[in-house]
A = this chain, B = another copy of it.
Amino acid sequence: MSDLLERLRGRGWRMTAQRRVVAEVLDGEHVHLTADEVHARAVAKLPEISRATVYNTLGELVSLGEVLEVATDRRAKRYDPNAHRPHQHLVCARCGAIRDVHPTGNPLSDLPDSERFGFAVSDVEVTYRGICPSCAAA
Protein backbone atom coordinates (compact mmCIF):
# COMPACT_ATOMS: atom_id res chain seq x y z
CA MET A 1 0.00 0.00 0.00
CA SER A 2 2.65 2.52 -0.92
CA ASP A 3 -0.37 3.22 -3.09
CA LEU A 4 -1.62 4.90 0.03
CA LEU A 5 1.29 7.31 0.11
CA GLU A 6 0.76 8.01 -3.58
CA ARG A 7 -2.92 8.69 -3.13
CA LEU A 8 -2.24 11.02 -0.24
CA ARG A 9 0.36 12.94 -2.18
CA GLY A 10 -2.13 13.20 -5.01
CA ARG A 11 -4.60 14.79 -2.65
CA GLY A 12 -2.20 17.53 -1.75
CA TRP A 13 -0.95 16.08 1.51
CA ARG A 14 2.29 17.56 2.63
CA MET A 15 4.47 14.53 3.15
CA THR A 16 6.32 14.45 6.45
CA ALA A 17 8.29 11.77 8.22
CA GLN A 18 5.56 11.49 10.84
CA ARG A 19 2.75 10.96 8.36
CA ARG A 20 4.78 8.44 6.41
CA VAL A 21 5.42 6.45 9.56
CA VAL A 22 1.76 6.40 10.59
CA ALA A 23 0.72 5.30 7.12
CA GLU A 24 3.36 2.57 7.17
CA VAL A 25 2.17 1.28 10.51
CA LEU A 26 -1.38 0.96 9.24
CA ASP A 27 -0.18 -0.59 6.04
CA GLY A 28 2.13 -3.04 7.75
CA GLU A 29 -0.32 -5.09 9.73
CA HIS A 30 -3.85 -5.70 8.69
CA VAL A 31 -5.17 -5.70 12.19
CA HIS A 32 -7.30 -3.25 14.08
CA LEU A 33 -4.99 -1.10 16.15
CA THR A 34 -5.92 1.49 18.73
CA ALA A 35 -4.49 4.97 18.47
CA ASP A 36 -2.07 4.18 21.28
CA GLU A 37 -0.92 1.01 19.56
CA VAL A 38 -0.34 2.96 16.38
CA HIS A 39 1.61 5.47 18.43
CA ALA A 40 3.73 2.76 20.06
CA ARG A 41 4.63 1.24 16.69
CA ALA A 42 5.29 4.67 15.21
CA VAL A 43 7.63 5.54 18.08
CA ALA A 44 9.65 2.44 17.27
CA LYS A 45 10.38 3.86 13.84
CA LEU A 46 10.54 7.55 14.71
CA PRO A 47 11.17 8.03 18.42
CA GLU A 48 10.24 11.69 18.68
CA ILE A 49 6.76 11.42 17.17
CA SER A 50 4.10 12.75 19.52
CA ARG A 51 0.75 11.41 20.54
CA ALA A 52 -1.01 14.51 19.22
CA THR A 53 0.43 13.99 15.76
CA VAL A 54 -0.67 10.39 15.66
CA TYR A 55 -4.20 11.41 16.65
CA ASN A 56 -4.20 14.21 14.08
CA THR A 57 -2.94 11.96 11.32
CA LEU A 58 -5.39 9.19 12.07
CA GLY A 59 -8.20 11.74 12.07
CA GLU A 60 -7.10 13.01 8.68
CA LEU A 61 -6.87 9.52 7.23
CA VAL A 62 -10.40 8.88 8.44
CA SER A 63 -11.67 12.12 6.90
CA LEU A 64 -10.04 11.20 3.63
CA GLY A 65 -11.76 7.83 3.72
CA GLU A 66 -8.49 5.92 3.68
CA VAL A 67 -9.02 4.36 7.09
CA LEU A 68 -12.13 3.46 9.06
CA GLU A 69 -12.82 4.01 12.71
CA VAL A 70 -14.19 0.95 14.43
CA ALA A 71 -15.81 1.11 17.85
CA THR A 72 -16.60 -2.44 18.82
CA ASP A 73 -16.24 -1.78 22.51
CA ARG A 74 -16.43 1.30 24.68
CA ARG A 75 -12.69 1.35 25.08
CA ALA A 76 -10.40 2.92 22.53
CA LYS A 77 -11.41 3.42 18.92
CA ARG A 78 -9.64 1.13 16.51
CA TYR A 79 -8.41 1.94 13.02
CA ASP A 80 -9.12 -0.32 10.11
CA PRO A 81 -6.98 0.12 7.01
CA ASN A 82 -9.42 -1.99 5.01
CA ALA A 83 -11.52 1.01 3.98
CA HIS A 84 -12.07 0.13 0.35
CA ARG A 85 -14.13 -3.00 0.64
CA PRO A 86 -17.36 -2.84 2.64
CA HIS A 87 -17.38 -5.25 5.54
CA GLN A 88 -18.62 -5.77 9.06
CA HIS A 89 -16.93 -6.99 12.22
CA LEU A 90 -16.97 -10.10 14.32
CA VAL A 91 -15.73 -9.59 17.87
CA CYS A 92 -14.80 -12.07 20.57
CA ALA A 93 -16.78 -11.19 23.68
CA ARG A 94 -14.02 -12.55 25.86
CA CYS A 95 -10.66 -11.45 24.43
CA GLY A 96 -11.78 -8.70 22.08
CA ALA A 97 -10.25 -10.19 18.94
CA ILE A 98 -11.71 -8.66 15.79
CA ARG A 99 -12.18 -10.20 12.35
CA ASP A 100 -13.48 -8.54 9.22
CA VAL A 101 -16.50 -10.42 7.86
CA HIS A 102 -18.66 -10.16 4.77
CA PRO A 103 -22.30 -11.00 5.45
CA THR A 104 -24.59 -11.87 2.60
CA GLY A 105 -27.45 -9.56 1.76
CA ASN A 106 -27.76 -5.88 2.49
CA PRO A 107 -28.82 -5.06 6.04
CA LEU A 108 -30.16 -1.70 4.84
CA SER A 109 -32.94 -3.48 3.02
CA ASP A 110 -34.07 -5.04 6.29
CA LEU A 111 -35.28 -1.69 7.57
CA PRO A 112 -38.74 -1.01 6.16
CA ASP A 113 -39.85 2.54 5.44
CA SER A 114 -42.28 2.35 8.31
CA GLU A 115 -39.31 1.92 10.63
CA ARG A 116 -37.30 4.82 9.26
CA PHE A 117 -39.24 7.65 10.93
CA GLY A 118 -38.44 10.04 8.12
CA PHE A 119 -34.69 9.59 8.46
CA ALA A 120 -32.58 9.55 5.31
CA VAL A 121 -30.79 6.33 6.21
CA SER A 122 -27.44 6.06 4.50
CA ASP A 123 -25.34 3.62 6.41
CA VAL A 124 -25.47 0.59 8.64
CA GLU A 125 -22.91 -0.97 10.94
CA VAL A 126 -23.19 -4.56 12.06
CA THR A 127 -21.20 -6.06 14.89
CA TYR A 128 -21.40 -9.80 15.45
CA ARG A 129 -20.36 -11.03 18.88
CA GLY A 130 -19.36 -14.46 20.03
CA ILE A 131 -16.55 -16.54 21.45
CA CYS A 132 -13.46 -17.12 19.34
CA PRO A 133 -11.95 -20.60 18.98
CA SER A 134 -9.00 -20.00 21.27
CA CYS A 135 -11.17 -18.57 24.05
CA ALA A 136 -13.59 -21.47 23.62
CA ALA A 137 -10.68 -23.92 24.01
CA ALA A 138 -9.30 -22.24 27.12
Contacts and interface: CB of A to CB of B under 8 A. Distances in A.
Contacts of A102: 115
Nearest to A132: B119
A120 interface: yes
A128 B113 CA distance: 13
Interface in A112-138: 112, 115-133, 136
Give the interface SS of chain A, mostly helix, strand, loop or mixed. mixed
Interface in A83-110: 90, 92-93, 99, 101-105, 107-108, 110
A129 B105 CA distance: 18
A133 B117 contact: yes
Given A119-B90, A119-B130, A133-B119, A103 B107 contact: yes
Interface residues of A, number: 39
Given A111-B103, A115-B102, A120 B131 contact: yes
Contacts of A74: 69, 71, 74, 77
B119 A103 contact: no
B90 A121 contact: yes
